[in-house]
């Protein structure tokens, strides 16, 4: 099983004190694309006004330009700890035991805009770049990443993929058609059985679901087996559109 997560715009500063290393990231075949984006970020950072425009930075966010300027030499932090926000607060990786964290490292990739999918425990730098940004001198991120990420996922040969990314990040690397996969939408169900998508609770439910997986570490080899585990674990998964599951949750946070 391979679980794909989106990143978060908000990130913790700092790190281990040692610079992160590009060579330590999962999916090393993506190195050329990673180098290209990092170079473009560094070059953009030499023009503060242009960087603010491209990255859509407000007056209180201009410090992000310097963050990108030193992105290659910055201290590293495991990706699952670097990201903050609703999803990652619900996942609560820092409070997981060693077994659960190692499971995240083996089974979870977090899809970043500058680095593509990285392992949950891969040390990464602080940065500022979203999926929709267009860096001067570089092909659109969708064109740069999509085919390369799809090939890299296929080369990893996962038994199946659970795709919890946002659609913007799915566009930066669709799951190969030959790999069994499911895209998960978080919904709430009304009294009449009608479902509607959620926003804040979408992120919370995804984080809580991955935390439950990491704590249980189910030995499942198919999507069907995962669905049976989820039912036993108290999660409601229903068929959505072809290739999709609905993760049904109430409009309140789970414990």
The per-residue pLDDT for range 83-120, each reduced to its tens digit, is 999 999 999 999 999 999 999 999 999 999 999 999 99
- pLDDT of the residue at 255: 36
- pLDDT of the residue at 195: 65
What number is the average pLDDT over the span 220-244? 96
Percent of the chain with pLDDT over 70: 94
Report helix, strand and coil shares of the chain as percent, to nearest 5. 40, 20, 40
**Rg for the chain, CA atoms, rounded:** 18
Q: Report phi then psi at 206, rounded to 5.
A: -65, -45
Q: Do the strands 236-239 and 244-248 form a parallel or antiparallel pair, or are they unpaired?
A: antiparallel
- pLDDT of the residue at 252: 44
Task: Of 199, 211, 213, give the one whose Cα is nearest residue 255.
Answer: 211
Task: Of 112, 159, 144, give the one whose Cα is nearest residue 7.
Answer: 112
Query: Could you read off the pLDDT of 116-164 as tens digits, one per residue?
Result: 999 999 999 999 999 999 999 999 999 999 999 999 999 999 999 999 9
Q: What is the DSSP letter of 131?
A: T
**Residues paired with residue 123 on neighbouring β-strands, in sequence order:** 78
Query: Could you read off the pLDDT of 157-208 as tens digits, one per residue?
Result: 999 999 999 999 999 999 999 999 999 999 987 665 556 665 668 899 999 9
Task: Of 87, 234, 245, give the one whose Cα is nearest residue 160.
Answer: 245
């Amino acid at each position: 099983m391979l679980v794909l997560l989106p990143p978060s715009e908000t990130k913790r500063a700092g790190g281990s004190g040692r610079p992160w290393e590009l060579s330590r990231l999962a999916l090393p075949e993506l190195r050329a694309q990673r180098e290209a984006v990092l170079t473009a970020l560094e070059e953009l950072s030499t023009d503060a006004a242009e960087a603010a425009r491209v990255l859509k930075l407000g007056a209180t966010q201009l410090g992000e330009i310097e963050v990108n300027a030193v992105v290659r030499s910055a201290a590293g932090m495991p990706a699952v700890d670097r990201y903050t926000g609703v999803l990652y607060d619900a996942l609560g990786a820092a409070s997981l035991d060693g077994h659960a964290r190692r499971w995240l490292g083996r089974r979870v990739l977090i899809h970043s805009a500058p680095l593509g999918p990285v392992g949950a425990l891969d040390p990464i730098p602080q940065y500022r770049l979203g999926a929709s940004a267009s860096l001067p001198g570089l092909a659109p991120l969708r064109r740069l990443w999509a085919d390369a990420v799809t090939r890299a996922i296929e080369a990893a040969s996962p038994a199946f993929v659970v795709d919890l990314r946002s659609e913007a990040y799915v566009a930066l690397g669709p799951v190969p058609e030959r790999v069994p996969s499911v895209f998960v939408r978080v919904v709430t169900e009304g009294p009449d059985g009608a479902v509607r998508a959620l926003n804040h609770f979408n992120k919370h439910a995804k984080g809580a679901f991955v935390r439950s997986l990491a704590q249980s570490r189910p030995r499942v080899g198919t999507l069907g087996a995962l669905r049976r585990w989820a039912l036993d674990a108290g999660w409601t998964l229903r068929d959505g559109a072809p290739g999709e599951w609905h993760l049904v949750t109430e409009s309140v946070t789970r414990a």
